Every structure is written in structure tokens, then in C-alpha cells.
Amino acid sequence: MARDAPLPRPRRGPRRERALAAAPTTGAAAPEAAPSTEAPDDTRTVYAWLTRLTVDPADTERLLVEILRRSRAARPAWLRTASGTTWLQFLTVQSVLRQRGVL
């Protein structure tokens, strides 16, 4: 397993509206685009952090699910003004330290 694999570039946003707006409107209906199976950016980011901090892929996936579940809960008062990335970093470090037995 590669540990320091490069992170994918962040997505800029949905491009489907631009593609549909630029498509010529002829008599034939445009085919619908298949739903995207890509993971959200938060999931990719947390997964990349976890692959660097853990050794076992099973632990990585278990912690990923736990972190994403906990990220939907309300933030502590002292962390409410922080960005979403900071919140995810906090949860990632806290979960890894718990798994290692430090917390």
C-alpha cells in the first residue's frame, strides 16, 4: 500500500449544468448522464489522512466511517467557528489517537 500517494485535485463543482447549457437543442433528446460514483471531497480527504496515519486498511475504513458519522453531529462550542476542514482534522486525529490507545 502506498503511503504518500498524491491527493486528487479538488472538484470545482458540478459541470453537468454547463454541459447541458452548451449542448445544442435539436429535436432529439439529450441522453442523461450516469450518476457519479465518486466519493465527496470530504471522504477523499479524510481517507487520504487516514492512510498516512494508520497501517491496516480495515482500521482505515472503520475509522473513516466513524469520522464521517461524527462529523454530522454538532460541534463543541470551542470549535464552532472553525472551518469544516479543521473539524475533520480534529476528528481524524482524535480517532487515530483513540485507536492507538493514547486518548
Does residue 88 fall inside a structural domain? yes
| Contact status, residue 60 vs residue 50, Cβ threshold 8 Å | yes
Does residue 32 fall inside a structural domain? no
Is residue 72 classed as helix, strand or coil in its secondary structure? Answer: coil
Does residue 77 fall inside a structural domain? no
Does residue 15 fall inside a structural domain? no
Cell numbers representing residue 4 in the block: 504518500
pLDDT in tens, 61-80: 999 999 999 988 888 888 88
Nearest CA among 34, 11, 32, 12 for reference residue 23: 32
pLDDT in tens, 3-53: 676 767 766 655 555 555 555 555 555 555 555 555 568 889 999 999 999
What is the extent of the structural domain holding 101? Answer: 42-72+82-103
The count of structural domains within the chain is 1
C-alpha 80: how far from chain center: 20
